[in-house]
Chain A
Amino acid sequence: MENRIDSLFKYKSGTVLSVYFTAGYPNLNDTLTIAKELEANGVDMLEIGIPFSDPLADGPIIQNSSKIAIQNGMCIELLLEQLITLRKHISIPVLLMGYYNPMLQYGVVSFLEKIAAIGIDGLILPDMPIEEYQENYEADFKRLNLKNILLITPQTSDIRIRYIDSVSGGFIYVVSSSATTGGHTDFSEKREAYLSKISSMKLNNPCVVGFGIQNKEDVKQVGKYADGTIIGTAFINAIAQGELKQQIKNFIKTVSHDTAVRT
């Protein structure tokens, strides 16, 4: 079967909307509920965060959601249990995002095999060195039809972007500004110039822009240059309080132009 991420970018017209949320937040057993609601409200791809005690690349909002999720009792073992019925409910691509250490302790290959069996399509492991991926795990990712999604930032040199493009699978995660998640956003002209440059490089992989995407205007600006956007911090903020399903529905309306509720 073709990887769902590849299919999405092949057949989707318009910009892909992807949403990140932390597993086990706000409540331990919300994971599948949130996933189902996001799909029902027209989101194209899901990124489920595995909480870590020391999330270096994340700003205060996602840090806090991770802390609460861990306090709630979330761990890899439990997440895998919660996701066993994933593909009974969800048809869009699903990625897992996490830091390297918890996976290392679980056993990387065993972890990959389990998530592939569940029907996960790709992984984002920001602190796993590319060289270590190539040496130790690339063959397993390919065998299991999993995509390893790599990041680029405004600081990444053109040569390195080409290198990352040659190794990354599914898409490239374009970090929109030099910041932890949810951090300050650069002036939009600066971001526009950066995205325009990336677009003109005509990379092999689709480009999806994340970090600091908060509203319709951001999504629209990014959509001119990239294949998709990822929203994380703003979504975590939105579901912190209130009735979960209603909050999700309201939130998606604030960021989406063209997604219609699927029936």
Chain B
Amino acid sequence: MKTQYHINDKGFYGDFGGAYIPELLHSNVEELLQNYKTVLNDDKFKEELKTLLRDYVGRPSPLYYSNRLSQKYGAQIYLKREDLNHTGAHKINNTIGQILLAKHLNKKRIIAETGAGQHGVATATVCALLGLPCIVYMGETDIKRQAPNVEKMRLLGAEVRPALSGSKTLKDATNEAIRDWINNPEDTYYIIGSVVGPHPYPDMVAQFQSVISEEIKQQLKEKTGNENPDYVIACIGGGSNAAGAFYHFIDEPSVKLIAAEAAGKGIDTNHTAASISIGTTGIIHGSKTLMMQTSDGQIVEPYSISAGLDYPGVGPMHAHLAETGRVKVIAITDSDALSAGYELCKLEGIIPALESAHALACLNHISFKEDDVVVINLSGRGDKDLETYTKHLPHGKQN
């Protein structure tokens, strides 16, 4: 069933999406466009993907009933444990899919951008798995604040190239990866890490991540007898884990979809990454979407404590879901996210990624009924954020 929420034949979600790319990228993107649907629907490809997701990634990821969170917030709260995937986040669902596609298209060299480093690690991992050379562009600022992931990528055989332009974060790493692709149009495959970029990337990445909501449905059915929860909550930077968690619920009107975007120090400060709350329509990385920009159309440098949410745009699918009211967007500040992260450590013994902590913080912003079934997508684990968590730990809570 195709509703107004889905992508149309021209690659648009409502007014958002499309492929706003220079001619230099046309043949690269066209090759993908001509092939991705056929390959994704190929039985052999599907089997190969399914096997790797099961045996290598460790899927299905558990749907965990969180007793203590449920008690505290007065609802039936489940955590979708994407943090338990190989490499520690949902990112690998997409990189496994795209590397198989790259192999199918006979590409010999893989490039990627990364913010927090989770997508970079997930890409370096699958490149090692398939024996393909891997170059990951990462903002110089992020290289410093996500050092453990940089080491992991190098250990896995990838070359990490610093992006030195702009704010030296995810936006700039993406620019550099796109420029690399322009300079190497024939043998190189660009694995984008989120539901951003020119069509068909947003659709393709959403499809690879949709395994999250596919599993939630099956697991909830087994646990509660009903495959649809009352709420699905996910954090949103570019929006790939949210795309995956929402995907099979978009056409179920009874399921409330909540996206947590990064307010940074607050949406009315200049230190924020809340592209939906304060953004306007524009073009970033080849796609028309909501983004943070000056009145003169220059893209604004974002800010968030979480490197994975530190992006001035949002996937076009989410711009559309937010604009139509299908998804409710809540802007979560750095300090709210940190508190929610500390809380999960104490209540459940799980250290969540700072990105996922933004989703957890939504629990404070919604009034639930006792029998509401709430699924929070725990998109990644917080090992990479230990330094940040430790640095901000309030006095008196250190033991």
Interface residues, chain A, with chain B CB atoms under 8 Å away: 52-54, 56-57, 59, 63, 67, 70, 75-77, 99-106, 126-129, 132, 150-153, 155-157, 160, 164, 175, 178-180, 183-184
Contacts and interface: CB of A to CB of B under 8 A. Distances in A.
Contacts of A52: 297-298
B297 A106 contact: yes
Given A54-B166, A105-B282, A128-B20, A156 B293 contact: no
Given A52-B298, A104-B282, A106-B297, A184 B183 contact: yes
B295 interface: yes
Nearest to B283: A101
A142 B1 CA distance: 42
Given A67-B165, A105-B293, A129 B183 contact: no
Interface-central residue, B18, B23, B171, B183, by most chain A CB under 10 Å: B23
Interface in B251-294: 280, 282-286, 293
B175 interface: yes
Interface of B: 18-24, 26-28, 165-166, 171, 175, 178-179, 182-186, 280, 282-286, 293, 295-299
A85 B284 CA distance: 33
Contact of B20 (A100, A102, A152, A184): A100
A178 B283 contact: no
17 contacts: A53-B298, A54-B285, A56-B175, A56-B286, A100-B20, A101-B297, A101-B299, A126-B23, A126-B24, A129-B19, A151-B24, A152-B23, A155-B24, A155-B27, A155-B185, A178-B183, A180-B183
B299 A53 contact: yes
Given A53-B299, A101-B283, A179 B20 contact: no
B283 A100 contact: yes
A57 B283 contact: no
Given A75-B296, A101-B282, A151 B22 contact: yes
A227 to B, nearest CB: 19
A157 B27 contact: yes
Contacts of B27: 153, 155-157
Given A155-B26, A178-B185, A56 B297 contact: no
Given A56-B179, A59-B179, A67-B165, A153 B24 contact: yes
A157 B21 CA distance: 17
B278 to A, nearest CB: 15
A99 B178 CA distance: 15
Contact of B22 (A76, A106, A126): A126
A58 to B, nearest CB: 8
A50 to B, nearest CB: 10
A179 B185 CA distance: 9
Nearest to A67: B165
A127 B284 contact: no
A148 to B, nearest CB: 13
Contacts of B283: 99-101, 104, 127
Contacts of A75: 296
Nearest to A53: B298
B20 A77 contact: no
Contact of A104 (B166, B183, B185, B297): B297
Contacts of B295: 105
A126 B26 CA distance: 11
A53 B166 contact: yes
